[in-house]
Amino acid sequence: MRLHNLVRYFIVRQSGVTLPELLVSLVAGSLMSLAFLQVYLDISQHQLSLRQSRQLMHTDHVLRRVLQAEFDDYIASGSARMVSRWHHKADFDRPTAAISGSDVIRINGSTFYIAHRGRRADQPAGLYRRRDRPASGYYPGEEIVEGVTSLQLELCDTRCDEALDELSSNQLTGLRIHYELRPDQRLPGQQVLTLAAKGLVRDDVQRE
């Protein structure tokens, strides 16, 4: 056994590295690998946090952009269609997926409403849009963005009024849309978006 150890030591030494030196090198290499792995994990976690932040900001931004664009198209087209919330005498059908207690808003051939994904109460609620088909009927509703839990409409002529159900384009001066974002959003709770057509001061600040 002693002879065997001497031979092994001689062979390793001939190669310029002793066994203890080899072990030290392996330990040092492992420590360096662990350090690089930790740096990688830290960077990945930071990127994930940034991605989550962008997603949380995404909801409010997308909702405002989509509703603003739809309203601008309506005003620019000079359409004779009414802007309205769904009511029992409305000239359009209420989407069956729309949750109760939240308004269904119709602008420019598009119907906006709040629904749960897959019509399941345990799934996230979000803003949906259903477009009219050219001849008759509707295309299937599409999810615009999740994280929105309620939608309420005020139609504005000389003033904004929650009691109004519909207004024509020549009466309409704007819309005030109240919406609520889920608690995990960057701007949780009640928010207000005012869309001005004419003679209405733009005011996106929540009323007292």
The most distant pair of C-alpha atoms in the chain lies apart, rounded to whole Å, by 106
Q: Choose between 13 and 35: higher pLDDT.
A: 35
At 93-120, the pLDDT tens digits run 999 999 999 999 999 899 999 999 999 9
Is the model's pLDDT at 8 over the cut of 60? no
Q: Which residue has the tokens 């939240």?
A: 102
- Print the domain residue range for 90: 47-196
Q: Is residue 156 part of a domain?
A: yes
Q: Is residue 88 part of a domain?
A: yes
Residues 206, 195: Cα–Cα separation, whole Å: 14
Q: Is residue 139 part of a domain?
A: yes
Q: Is residue 142 part of a domain?
A: yes
Is the entire prediction scored with pTM above 0.85? no
At 148-202, the pLDDT tens digits run 999 999 999 888 888 899 998 888 889 999 999 988 776 678 899 999 876 444 4
At 119-138, the pLDDT tens digits run 998 999 999 999 999 988 99
- How many distinct structural domains can be found in the chain? 1
Q: Is residue 169 part of a domain?
A: yes
At 65-95, the pLDDT tens digits run 999 999 999 988 888 888 999 998 888 999 9
Q: Is residue 205 part of a domain?
A: no
Q: Is residue 28 part of a domain?
A: no
Strand partners, 152: 178
Q: Which residue has the tokens 């087209």?
A: 77
At 25-42, the pLDDT tens digits run 676 777 776 666 666 555
What DSSP assignment string belongs to the chain?
A: -HHHHHHHHHHHHHTT--HHHHHHHHHHHHHHHHHHHHHHHHHHHHHHHHHHHHHHHHHHHHHHHHHHHHHHHHHHHT--PPEEE--TT-SSPPPTTBPTTS--EEETTEEEEEEEGGG-TTSPEEEEEEEBPSSSSBPPPEEEEE-EEEEEEEEESSSEETT--EE-TTT--EEEEEEEE-TTSSS-EEEEEEEE-SS-----SPP-
Q: Choose between 176 and 47: higher pLDDT.
A: 176
Q: Is residue 51 part of a domain?
A: yes
